Chains A and B, each alone.
Chain A
């Protein structure tokens, strides 16, 4: 079985030989693998287009059946998306698009959607869906830059960015004032300690929790916390966000001595900490509620 032979022309073997049987099996297995791959893609694409055809037809029919008073003040209703549809009218609507027929609440396909449908529409938000990411690897500009597209588009591959095209979050720099910060670079948010009322940058929560729950044997923080609640822990060493150069704890493989280092730096404590009130602002009510609940459970 030399390569040049196989490439130049398909070798044929006399029937009934092992060579014949094995090449046949191999060829047909390859055929089947390709067949299944193509069938899978075909199904995905055709189902997406079928749905697009249906969604477009249905949307047209619903527009037709919209209660007239609403159409008068359409500018308002469009914004709030509170369109009232006349059910009876919709049930009796018959309407045709290029790809489908809407008839009595059901949508029938017209022809093969692979030929009749040009654009994939998301069945949930009814916006067109991009086929290529707008930035990063394999990107293509969107067909219409002014159009709105479905948010569930292709994932983005761009170094330093996540699949949504956002930059990775960095440690907040407490020295910079809010207005000096680059708003395009997301910062690691803060989270309230489930026990005490202090806020910590997310990747410091476990370290604090260890102390707050008194796990590693060092005492006092837990008892102190109620008195701190007013000014969000300005005095306690644990509340500090140590400003070490390597902020991301689990990046790469930390050395075995790391734990020691951390606790040392804590003992010394650092004087610089982010303004608590500012950090608090970035929090939602919901999360506070949960924390209150767990506090109560604790008490």
Chain B
């Protein structure tokens, strides 16, 4: 499957990025050297965190001449600015450079950036990428693939709504968040859940697979129906059932959980780690550490997490008390994450009993941190205010970024040198709730890839700009990981 898809895509790629690069890469002798130089420079320019000890090192403050992009010669190790490049080429004859910000290759003979498909494939994580010879690329097999492959006709992919069946917008928005995820699409479309052999009655995964297949089928542009999924969901859960409005966040948890329990090979017990696809995709792991103030002993407990529920109110209250930093004048998602992972004092009268101190109640501090991040990260902004008498919904904007670095909220130590690009998440869906606590309407802003965003209001699909998206009073945010690194690449299979 992957082989044929790969070779179809290869058919539309040029052999080399430009004529000058072709001259270098065609020659076996120069090609190897060039590739290793490229790979080395690529890794060197990766956005690593600077360990704090190094940042304040011996020689004191380093003078940086400029912040502008630099061009690293790929033949020698010379670093030039845009203006100095020409002189370097004249002097040495080296024509290829790597630009420091995006790590694109610049060819001085073309006087332009060049994009070489083969070299970009080398950039993937890990050293396994060299196996290009695995898929035969000779003309005969090309033709064979071309004649035998069935291609989907072109369409505006993903720009389809989901029908509201009457107060089911909670389901529509969650489906929209999932239907555009490449990992889930690959899973369902490649038969990750075999609908034909599945014996389970009222199987949620079968119903979900049906929606995914319908959503991706051919040239259709109208909305898809998720009636079977609704039916099976109602059958599975009393809480979710019935002609009434539901909380989208609860539905998301319910859906992920039931997809997991419909997957062959899943494990229900808490002792063993479940290795099913949905667990690997949606579940991360939280570490909660409690430190006793008396003896300093820290105990860790680990819990699976399907999403992060962030307290919006907490941040507001802190700001009122003047405890949070002065810079945060508006509520932000990163601020919520900061307070979520901040150290919290447990009072002495709270029921923490330190084992080491003879099981006596002690003052302690607690901290939540993320130990493992999921590929799809759902975050809920808790917009309710519960008082003893009533619950109220809190409107108001909370700033959220389009790319999010999750590294600061993980258990990674500051001293470690980490490639931050492994922790970068891209916003994929924003779900907005309009109305009051008890009644209202959900709609979703979904990314179709690149900078293309659409507003999915049930069956109505309209164009949205990035600015529109970021302006919303979000309720649920879905982020997906940008690159699947060596640590979590098993989730992509």
Q: Is the CB of B153 within 8 A of A125?
A: yes
The verdict on A226 contacting chain B, using a C-beta distance below 8 Å, is: no
How many angstroms from the CA of A38 to the CA of B30 in the assembled complex? Answer: 32
Task: Known contacts A87-B143, A150-B154, A255-B439; decide if A206 and B460 are in contact (CB<8 Å).
Answer: no
Task: Known contacts A44-B450, A195-B231, A204-B166; decide if A54 and B219 are in contact (CB<8 Å).
Answer: no
Binds B, one of A69-77, A210-218, A270-278: A210-218
Q: Which residues of chain A are within 8 angstroms of B113 by Cβ–Cβ distance?
A: 39, 42-43, 46
Interface residue from B16, B67, B435 paired with A25 (Cβ < 8 Å): B67
How many angstroms from the CA of A245 to the CA of B452 in the assembled complex? Answer: 35
Residue in chain B with minimal CB distance to A153:
B156
The verdict on A253 contacting chain B, using a C-beta distance below 8 Å, is: yes
Interface residue from B139, B151, B166, B454 paired with A207 (Cβ < 8 Å): B166
The verdict on A78 contacting chain B, using a C-beta distance below 8 Å, is: no
The verdict on B349 contacting chain A, using a C-beta distance below 8 Å, is: no
Chain A, interface size category, equals 35 or more
Q: Is the CB of B243 within 8 A of A216?
A: yes
How many angstroms from the CA of A122 to the CA of B154 in the assembled complex? Answer: 9
Q: Is the CB of B143 within 8 A of A162?
A: no
Q: Which residues of chain B are within 8 angstroms of A100 by Cβ–Cβ distance?
A: 14
B-contact bits for A184-220, CB 8 A (1 contact / 0 none)? 0010110101110000001111110110010110000
Interface residue from A111, A127, A194, A262 paired with B227 (Cβ < 8 Å): A194
The verdict on A3 contacting chain B, using a C-beta distance below 8 Å, is: no
Interface residue from B69, B222, B223, B243 paired with A215 (Cβ < 8 Å): B243
How many angstroms from the CA of A112 to the CA of B113 in the assembled complex? Answer: 10
B residues 228-284 touching A (CB-CB < 8 Å): 228, 230-232, 234-235, 241-244
How many angstroms from the CA of A282 to the CA of B137 in the assembled complex? Answer: 45
The verdict on A95 contacting chain B, using a C-beta distance below 8 Å, is: no
Q: Which residues of chain A are within 8 angstroms of B13 by Cβ–Cβ distance?
A: 50-51, 54
Interface residue from B12, B110, B156 paired with A55 (Cβ < 8 Å): B12
Q: Is the CB of B461 within 8 A of A162?
A: yes
Q: Is the CB of A207 within 8 A of B12?
A: no
How many angstroms from the CA of A113 to the CA of B395 in the assembled complex? Answer: 50
A residues 67-107 touching B (CB-CB < 8 Å): 84-85, 87-88, 90-91, 100, 104-107
Binds A, one of B157-165, B337-345, B376-384: B157-165
Task: Known contacts A32-B101, A215-B243; decide if A253 and B159 are in contact (CB<8 Å).
Answer: no
Q: Is the CB of A91 within 8 A of B15?
A: no
The verdict on B140 contacting chain A, using a C-beta distance below 8 Å, is: yes
The verdict on B391 contacting chain A, using a C-beta distance below 8 Å, is: no
How many angstroms from the CA of A258 to the CA of B435 in the assembled complex? Answer: 14
The verdict on A124 contacting chain B, using a C-beta distance below 8 Å, is: yes
Interface residue from A204, A253, A290 paired with B441 (Cβ < 8 Å): A253
Binds B, one of A139-147, A164-172, A175-183: A164-172
Q: Which residues of chain B are within 8 angstroms of A124 by Cβ–Cβ distance?
A: 151-152, 154
Q: Is the CB of B441 within 8 A of A215?
A: no
A298 CB to closest chain B CB (Å) equals 8
Q: Is the CB of B439 within 8 A of A203?
A: no
Interface residue from B161, B219, B439 paired with A151 (Cβ < 8 Å): B219
The verdict on A222 contacting chain B, using a C-beta distance below 8 Å, is: no
**Residues of B that sit less than 8 Å from A by CB:** 11-19, 22, 66-69, 99, 101-102, 104, 110, 112-113, 115, 137-140, 142-144, 146-147, 151-157, 159, 161, 163-169, 201-202, 210, 219, 221-223, 225, 227-228, 230-232, 234-235, 241-244, 434-436, 438-441, 450, 452, 454, 458-463
Which 10 pairs of residues, A with B, have the shortest CB-CB distance? A105-B139, A123-B12, A210-B243, A91-B139, A253-B435, A206-B166, A205-B165, A28-B67, A206-B165, A194-B231
Known A-B contacts: A87-B143, A253-B436. Give 7 more (CB < 8 A): A54-B13, A108-B19, A162-B161, A213-B231, A213-B241, A215-B241, A253-B440
